[in-house]
Structure 1
């Protein structure tokens, strides 16, 4: 049975009682009757949302899909909506959902869409799950695991991509009125790296890609090398790509502003990736890129996804 997506309830109040041993303690005064303990408060429910679980046979892991349906979903009973898949669902899903509703304004600002949040593997921390599932090679400088007893794992982006294509897509297509010829991918940081991997492996898996601050530095900039390898073997790339990054995601040794990166010039990496894609003159590829002022790696995503939604899902007549 599907669940509604809810914020975690407030933790119940715990009262710790301590005792004294050895000394004779005078009898305490008669206590007043205890006040009734307030029941746990109800969770806040996100309307028009549900959760589906999917266990991958090949991966041996269970993931949740967070689903948000547009306001007119029940009214437009024959309409098939574009479908947006977002990584890092615990953070991105409620954010993208609410931006989509506010900016979208029931189809006036954005075309309405079905939103699918790709969650982390059940029983794992977000950091552990995303490091493994979103990275393309096992070569990483992050060697410390945040799950005791389990070594850090990287490099399973390709098997995770096949999980989305072979197991998630059929479930979504069967369960919802979506147009599977209008699939959009959105990812930030390692999620953007995963998007770049999909783009360079099977570009037609999605029609549009919103890549925010992709971690192109990973494994000595392996994605830039893979783009060169793709261009050597292909004459076209059928995809629309929107690249964005915060202006602070570069190196500026002369500045004392801690929002700048210390040693990773992600702005330069993104501009290099953009330039490489544009230089191929693929007839079916459309690329847009922007550097967003006064934003860093941790603050840029709300602005980046807003711009990405307006690029990918403009309202009719815009």
Structure 2
């Protein structure tokens, strides 16, 4: 049943996009707004797609958490995740949220989502790699400030990334953990650069632990929730995901609730079909934790 619902959502959004492009003389169905950034970090113009929840009013005192989606163009994951958020808002499974799609359409996601690799096979397959540091600077210094300046946001932020996007989301967790509270990491391509990211996971997470200790002095509510999932994948994908999870578990055990890990492989899905169901489960888990606090 879940597979059927997810397939139906994909079909409906695809039909909407086709209709929108072919019916210029018709009224446009309002689904979101577009922001453009002349990015200094990337030295090019980039696009953000933004879904605003039902009842959003710039003159209201209400503020909303923000969900940031990598691969976030209208032809990538943005409409699907925004539609999922809208559905879960409607049934109060998820708090009403702003969804920001960070578009990579027409740009090089291979460049933006990877750190430099020394592996010969990586260099042959993706010669234009190694731009993640600039892309993280773009997110930190340009995307998030624009959203927080122009929209009614609270302080809670989520990042969602799949595949190479999952690699980048993991790198953000390791290197710039302060940027987001919740991390949804789906089928992460942690095989990149001979698995260096997970081979050094304990070192990265030790630094994260120090950051948490320092931040908690000023902010007693500092917490991280991490959801990791993957489907039926190449054995290497499972191997590196298990390494990531094992490292996070060690940190979780020492942090007394500051770090909460959810690891849910969904083995009846594959690399192409897992995203919707994984994100649904992540939102469900996160919100259940919120309900337990009340």
Partner of 2:12: none
CA distance in 2: counterparts of 1:154 and 1:70, whole angstroms:
36
**TM-score, normalised with respect to structure 1:** 0.74
Q: What is aligned with 2:142? A: 167
Residue 7 of structure 1, CA deviation: 2.4
Q: Return the alpha-carbon distance in structure 2 between the equivalents of residues 87 and 306 of structure 1.
A: 16
Per the alignment, residue 114 of structure 1 pairs with 98
The structure-2 alpha-carbon separation of the partners of 1:225 and 1:130, relative to structure 1 and needing over 3 Å to count, comes to: same
Tell me if 1:222 matches 2:199: no
Q: 1:144 to 1:9 in 2, by over 3 A?
A: farther
Q: CA deviation at 1:313?
A: 4.0
Contact 1:111 1:316 in 2 (8 A): no
1:71 and 2:50 aligned: no
Q: Is the 8 A contact 1:212 1:243 kept in 2?
A: yes
Residue deviations 1:236-282 (CA, integer Å, cap 9, x gap): 45521110111x1143xxxxxxxxxxxxx212211121011112334
Residue 80 of structure 2 aligns to a residue in which SS?
helix
Structure 1's 135 and 11: CA in aligned 2 closer, same or farther, altered over 3 A?
A: same
Q: Evaluate the alpha carbon distance shift between residue 314 and residue 216 of structure 1 in structure 2; reply closer, same or farther with a 3 A threshold.
A: same
Contact 1:9 1:43 in 2 (8 A): no
SS at match of 2:261: strand
What is the number of residues matched between the two proteins?
260
List runs of 5+ in structure 1 lacking aligned partners.
1-5, 13-39, 146-150, 252-264
- Deviation of 1:74 after TM superposition, in Å, equals 2.6
Pairwise CA RMSD:
2.7
1:200–1:226 Cα contact (<8 Å) kept: no
Contact 2:174 2:208 in 1 (8 A): no
SS at match of 1:288: strand
Measured in 2, the distance between the counterparts of 1:316 and 1:205 equals 20
**TM-score normalised by length of structure 2:** 0.79
Task: Rate the CA distance shift 1:143–1:233 in 2: closer, same or farther, 3 A.
Answer: closer
Asked if 1 retains the 8 angstrom alpha-carbon contact of 2:58 and 2:151, the reply is: no
Q: How does 1:145-224 map to 2 (within 5 A)?
A: 152-179=127-154, 181-224=155-198
Looking at structure 2, the residues matched to 152 and 291 of structure 1 have their Cα atoms a distance apart, in angstroms, of 31
Q: Distance in 1 between matches of 2:115 and 2:92?
A: 39
| Other structure's SS at 2:77 match | helix
- Map of 1:297 onto structure 2: 271
**Residue number in structure 2 paired with 1:17:** none
- Report how far residue 233 of structure 1 moved: 4.3
Higher percent of residues as helix: 2
Does structure 1 residue 59 correspond to structure 2 residue 52? no
Larger Rg belongs to: 1
Could you tell me which of 102, 120, 125 is aligned with 2:87? 102
